[in-house]
């Protein structure tokens, strides 16, 4: 049996891979690992009565229909393990992370499969302070769950030791107030189209932008439990791009289902990707004296054009493995303020413990408002070099690092591209495939090199 935890929590098809039984069991195990001491929380629990020392967990979800029964299972598991639960309802993943820290909770739980299609769902845990779990903590939770599945009984409290469950409706306003409060300036005079992906930010994003002063046109903000990410949001930008042009907006912002990432569109309807957003925010923070060490953190998948732009602007770029958790680890290690991924998962560490699509969109709009420059002009700080990505399936991804044949093919491709391009081969962390990425100054050359490497992967690993 493979590892339950992937690169971003536990995910699968709801009620098939991710069952109520699994959700309940993982929640009990998480309670034992993340809040074992049964000590009072530092923030003062809105649940526990006077003299009670039960730990507290914040639980939220996105609008997927399956989130209803999975949330019930998680809440039952936590309460049965002696944890008081604050149910915040449908809120973005970064909202649950923020509230976990702001309320002094022992940990947080988010039910969402992010940008995945509706049938999927997932469970993500946050440690005290709203931080993602280290691998070691995930391994301990999984080990406890597997021990129980093998027949080892849980130790369960009884009587006054069981947890209590409270609806925490103030979470929405607390989070929106936080978002607006950290902006460097207001958005008065801006017209912004917001695509909520029929997801967790469908109420949050329009409210936050409106409170910050923008004129808001809402798009795909009517979740019904089934339409999340369905042809909309940050993975399907056509609707946003067309709406920006139709309404004569200054810019558009699209989040994904759990709103931990965002992409944008300029006034002409052109896509502004995560690298461009990161470049704009890096210069904004630098100009404000808040880009610590004049350093930004990105992954190996960030466009070569981003690297060249940062070099030209005297901003140091540190690259990590693919995954926002690795970006965050490097940011914490060096105390850096800004990092992110090409997908639009941007972390502003002074204001958030994880990627926050609504916050990112707000800060991008704030830069437009502060400078009076169109988003297209700001994004032009970097030129996106042609980047070709091929997913090679039906190969043994675990042999990528050990294949001499493949290493030779990569070396030859790098010689062909020289200083004007880049090659990256990596096994997917979530799917049974190998990703081939090639960048070059010329798109045809990038496609040619990528196709050759894809053939080499099939030959060496098939």
Active centre residues (catalytic): 114
Structure token digits, residue 459: 């030959």
319 with 300: CB under 8 angstroms? yes
217 with 193: CB under 8 angstroms? yes
DSSP β-ladder status, 120-127 and 131-132: antiparallel
Residue 104 exposed, middle or buried by CB count within 10 Å (0-12, 13-18, 19+) = middle
d(CA 278, CA 297): 9
Can you tell me whether residue 451 is helix, strand or coil? Answer: helix
DSSP-derived secondary structure letter, 197: T
**CA dihedral over 115, 111, 70, 16, signed as positive or negative:** positive
- Residues of 59-80 as b/e, b for ≥16 C-beta within 10 angstroms? bbbbbbbbbebbbebbbbbbbb
42: which residues sit within 8 A by CB, 6+ positions away? 104
389 with 423: CB under 8 angstroms? no
> Which segments are annotated as binding site for Mg(2+)?
114, 256, 258, 260
219: which residues sit within 8 A by CB, 6+ positions away? 193, 194, 195, 196, 232, 239, 240, 243
> Which segments are annotated as binding site?
114, 256, 258, 260
Distance, CA of 177 to chain centre: 21
* C-alpha distance from residue 297 to each of 5, 28, 317, 333, 356 (Å): 24, 35, 6, 11, 16
HSE-CB for 118 with a 13 A CA cutoff = 16
Closest CA to 176 of 278, 273, 95, 233: 95
Closest CA to 94 of 85, 102, 82: 102
Size (the chain), residues:
462
Residue linked to tokens 């923030």:
43
Closest CA to 93 of 137, 130, 128: 130
């Amino acid at each position: 049996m493979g590892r339950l935890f992937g690169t971003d929590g536990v995910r699968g098809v709801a009620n098939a891979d991710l069952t109520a039984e699994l959700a309940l069991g993982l929640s009990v195990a998480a309670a034992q690992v993340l809040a074992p001491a049964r000590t009072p929380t530092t923030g003062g629990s809105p649940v526990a009565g006077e003299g009670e020392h039960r730990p507290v967990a914040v639980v939220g979800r996105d609008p997927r229909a399956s989130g209803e029964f999975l949330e019930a299972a998680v809440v039952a598991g936590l309460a049965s393990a002696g944890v008081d639960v604050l149910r915040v309802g449908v809120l973005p993943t970064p909202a649950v992370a923020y509230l976990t820290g702001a309320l002094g909770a022992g940990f947080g739980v988010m039910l969402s499969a992010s940008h995945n299609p509706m049938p999927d769902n997932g469970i993500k845990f946050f440690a005290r302070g709203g931080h993602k779990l280290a691998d070691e903590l995930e391994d301990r939770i999984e080990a406890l769950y597997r021990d129980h599945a093998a027949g080892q009984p849980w130790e369960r409290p009884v009587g006054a030791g069981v947890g209590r469950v409270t609806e925490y409706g103030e979470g929405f306003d607390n989070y929106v107030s936080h978002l607006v409060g950290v902006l460097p300036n207001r958005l008065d005079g801006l017209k912004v189209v917001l695509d909520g992906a029929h997801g967790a930010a469908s109420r949050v994003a329009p409210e936050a932008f409106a409170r910050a002063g923008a004129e808001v046109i809402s798009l795909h903000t009517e979740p019904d439990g089934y339409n999340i990410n369905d042809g909309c949001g940050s993975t399907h930008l056509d609707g946003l791009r067309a709406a920006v042009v139709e309404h004569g907006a200054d810019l558009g912002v699209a989040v994904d289902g759990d709103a931990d990432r965002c992409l944008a569109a300029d006034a002409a309807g052109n896509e502004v990707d995560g690298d461009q957003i990161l470049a704009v925010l890096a210069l904004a923070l630098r100009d404000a004296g808040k880009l610590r060490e004049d350093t930004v953190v990105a992954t190996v998948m960030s466009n070569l054009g981003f690297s060249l732009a940062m070099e030209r602007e005297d901003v140091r770029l540190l690259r990590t493995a693919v995954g926002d958790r690795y970006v965050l680890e490097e940011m914490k290690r060096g105390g850096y303020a800004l990092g992110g991924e090409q997908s639009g998962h941007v972390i502003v560490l002074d204001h958030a413990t994880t990627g926050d699509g609504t916050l990112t969109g707000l800060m991008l709009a704030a830069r437009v408002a502060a400078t009076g420059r169109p988003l297209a002009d700001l994004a032009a700080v970097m030129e996106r070099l042609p980047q070709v990505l091929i997913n090679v399936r039906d190969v043994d991804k675990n042999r990528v690092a050990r294949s001499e044949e493949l290493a030779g093919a990569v070396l030859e491709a790098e010689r062909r591209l020289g200083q004007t391009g880049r090659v990256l081969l990596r096994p997917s962390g979530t799917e049974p495939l190998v990703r081939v990425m090639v960048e070059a100054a010329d798109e045809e050359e990038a496609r040619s090199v990528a196709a050759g490497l894809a053939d080499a992967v099939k030959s060496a690993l098939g």
